[in-house]
């Protein structure tokens, strides 16, 4: 299946972006979109509901980028620590416009992880905003980072733009190619970082072609329209929030409503209703909160609600369908693929799967011992990363062998090409020689106690190798009820946790995924008490 085939099938009303734009840089693609849709057209609604046009973003990016590039060389990485918003989009464009590479910083990950990531990417300068520092309480973090890195506040940069900076922007708004630096489509466009749950964070280098190809893959897969309004509450340091939530809308002529955090369900529901958003990108954890606080009718404008980053639970689907009449679409991706690999579609939505592969992608399944009828998913395509940057070789990009990326996820693929995620390879327990998916354990708990949150981990067991521990926010949860539920639903007794631990909250990462490192630490702590 080729992109051209899918595009032809998707109809003539979809956004007129095409694959020829992938042979370009992100900034030049943005400039082309501005020419196509008109400079005065509003493309971003910011955190405070102020509007930004293509012209606004172009002028701001050129002036800001000309100022930020001082003291850096072409190809050098500049840290970007900003919340989702017009400022993050403009800064991304600003850095890339002059041949520098933004390294997106997860400001929720802690000083040690951030410093490790920045050393790996060889970052010397960090662009941030005082407003973020004040609102998120990050002053102590910035003070610590300032010992090793140059901190640049965007408010100060804008207040002190030189006559030359402004002149460049004035000329560039009419002829952006004259003042910006042209870079090849296969050069780095951004550095993102893994969560570091398996050691120090790795950098993921994505090219301009990677990002633009994934934008086009999503467009033809979901049939997006220039009249769509996308609400994006996901962080810009997360690949889903960056590519699909922040870059895709202006490249395709969509309007994006930016929200700085996914942790404000009431405000997000209000903004969906106020701006009549038609597309929402979210995760299971967050959209459950939005569905609960929203009144019937609040979400009626949504025509596409796409969830990724974590498994979409049946209970979440049922809640959205019953209360809001919304059919959720589950997708799947990883940072290394820019990020979208597969997604369900309206009219072709198969619950329990993450849909079909993006166009122009190939896959193979590597056998996994003890897991029948499934395998480790390995993928290849125009959206697969340039490579990793590793802590033991700072600055060096190590490409995936043969262009293939091993996702580490165990999946099955049916005869129609729908992919079902069985779990991360590292998220299987070995009990008495049998492999048990911890995702299945969590699914059982969610089915039995849908109003609560659950996380399953393993601890060593001298007799059976490993044992499963369930951590739950349900104070009444017990193993006996799980045993009964499993027996009544044909679930193997091996998937029943040996212990159940009650907590007030399940820790989550800034991306909405369960923070299993902290869950593991909680279990270890209870073992010593």
What is the per-residue pLDDT for 529?
53
Inform me whether the pLDDT recorded for 356 exceeds 90: yes
- CB 252, CB 278: distance < 8 Å: no
First to last CA, the chain: 57
Q: What distance lies between CA 375 and its chain's CA centroid?
A: 24
What is the per-residue pLDDT for 22?
76
Concatenating the DSSP letter of every residue in 121-170 gives: HT--EEEE-HHHHHHHT-HHHHHHHTTTSEEEEHHHHHHT--HHHHHHHH
Peptide bond into 339 cis (omega under 30): yes
Inform me whether the pLDDT recorded for 528 exceeds 60: no
What is the per-residue pLDDT for 511?
63
Q: Hey, where are the domains in the chain?
A: 3-65+75-413, 432-528
Least reliable range by pLDDT among 86-90, 241-245, 426-430, 452-456: 426-430
Tell me if domain 3-65+75-413 and domain 432-528 are identical in fold: no
What is the per-residue pLDDT for 182?
84
Least reliable range by pLDDT among 252-261, 358-367, 499-508, 509-518: 509-518
Which backbone phi and psi does 333 adopt, to 5 degrees?
-165, 170
Inform me whether the pLDDT recorded for 154 exceeds 50: yes
Inform me whether the pLDDT recorded for 18 exceeds 70: no
Inform me whether the pLDDT recorded for 228 exceeds 90: yes
Confidence tier at 301 by pLDDT (50, 70, 90): very high
Domain topology for 3-65+75-413: Rossmann fold (3.40.50)
- Among residues 440, 443, 495, 446, which one has the least CA distance to residue 466? 495
Mean pLDDT of 34-60: 94
What's the rounded Cα separation, in Å, for the pair 184 and 6?
Answer: 27
C-alpha distances (whole Å) from 5 to each of 1, 213, 273, 318, 348 are 7, 15, 35, 34, 17
Mean pLDDT of the chain: 87
* Total count of residues recorded for the chain: 529
- Among residues 26, 405, 35, 78, which one has the least CA distance to residue 182? 26
Secondary-structure class of domain 432-528 per CATH: alpha beta
pTM listed for this prediction = 0.83
**DSSP one-letter code for 222:** H
What is the per-residue pLDDT for 1?
39
Model confidence over 131-140: pLDDT tens digits?
999 988 999 9
Least reliable range by pLDDT among 2-16, 90-104, 253-267, 442-456: 2-16
What is the per-residue pLDDT for 165?
84
444 vs 298, more confident: 298
What's the rounded Cα separation, in Å, for the pair 398 and 389?
Answer: 6
Inform me whether the pLDDT recorded for 310 exceeds 50: yes
What is the per-residue pLDDT for 462?
63
What's the rounded Cα separation, in Å, for the pair 500 and 432?
Answer: 20
């Amino acid at each position: 299946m080729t992109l051209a085939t899918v595009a032809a099938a998707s109809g003539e009303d979809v956004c007129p972006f095409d694959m020829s734009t992938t042979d370009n840089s992100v900034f030049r693609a943005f400039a082309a979109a501005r020419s196509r849709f008109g400079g005065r057209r509003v493309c971003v609604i910011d955190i405070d509901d102020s509007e930004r046009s293509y012209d606004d973003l172009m002028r701001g990016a050129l002036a800001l980028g000309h100022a930020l590039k001082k003291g850096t060389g072409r190809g050098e990485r500049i840290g970007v620590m900003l919340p989702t918003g017009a400022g993050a989009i403009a800064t991304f464009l600003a850095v890339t416009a002059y041949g520098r590479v933004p390294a997106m910083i997860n400001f929720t990950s802690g000083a040690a992880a951030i410093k490790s990531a920045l050393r790996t990417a060889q970052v010397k300068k960090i662009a941030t905003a005082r407003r973020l520092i004040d609102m998120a309480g990050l002053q102590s973090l910035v003070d610590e980072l300032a010992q090793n890195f140059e901190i640049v506040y965007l408010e100060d940069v804008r207040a002190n733009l030189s006559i030359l900076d402004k002149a460049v922007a004035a000329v560039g708004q009419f002829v952006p190619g004259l003042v910006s630096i042209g870079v090849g489509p296969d050069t780095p466009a951004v550095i993102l970082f893994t969560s570091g749950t398996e050691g120090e964070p790795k950098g993921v280098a994505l090219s301009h072609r990677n990002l633009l190809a994934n934008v086009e893959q999503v467009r033809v897969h979901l049939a997006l329209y220039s009249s769509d309004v996308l609400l994006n509450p996901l962080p810009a340091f997360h690949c889903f929030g960056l590519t699909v939530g922040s870059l895709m809308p202006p490249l395709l002529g969509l309007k994006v409503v930016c929200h700085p955090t996914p942790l404000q369900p009431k405000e997000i529901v209000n903004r969906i209703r106020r701006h009549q958003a038609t597309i929402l990108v979210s995760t299971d954890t967050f959209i459950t909160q939005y569905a609960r606080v929203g009144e019937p009718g609040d979400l009626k404008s949504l025509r596409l609600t796409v969830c990724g980053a974590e498994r979409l639970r049946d209970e979440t689907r049922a809640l959205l369908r019953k209360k809001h009449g919304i059919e959720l679409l589950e997708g799947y991706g990883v940072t290394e693929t820019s990020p979208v690999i597969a997604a369900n579609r309206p009219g072709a939505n198969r619950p329990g799967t993450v849909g079909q592969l993006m166009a122009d992608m190939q896959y193979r399944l590597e056998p996994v011992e003890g897991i029948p009828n499934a395998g480790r998913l390995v993928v290849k395509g125009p959206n697969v990363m340039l490579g990793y940057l590793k802590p033991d070789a700072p600055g060096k990009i190590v490409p995936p062998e043969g262009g293939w990326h091993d996702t580490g996820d165990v999946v099955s693929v049916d005869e129609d090409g729908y992919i079902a995620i069985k779990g991360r390879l590292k998220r299987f327990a070995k009990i008495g020689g049998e492999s048990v998916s911890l995702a299945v354990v969590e699914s059982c708990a969610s089915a039995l106690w849908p109003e609560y949150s659950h996380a399953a981990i393993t601890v060593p067991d001298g007799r059976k190798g490993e044992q499963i521990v369930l951590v739950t926010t349900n104070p009444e949860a017990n193993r006996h009820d799980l045993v009964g539920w499993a027996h009544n639903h044909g679930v193997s007794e091996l998937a029943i946790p040996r212990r159940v631990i009650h907590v007030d909250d399940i820790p989550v990462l800034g991306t909405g995924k369960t923070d299993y490192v902290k869950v593991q630490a909680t279990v270890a702590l209870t073992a010593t008490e």
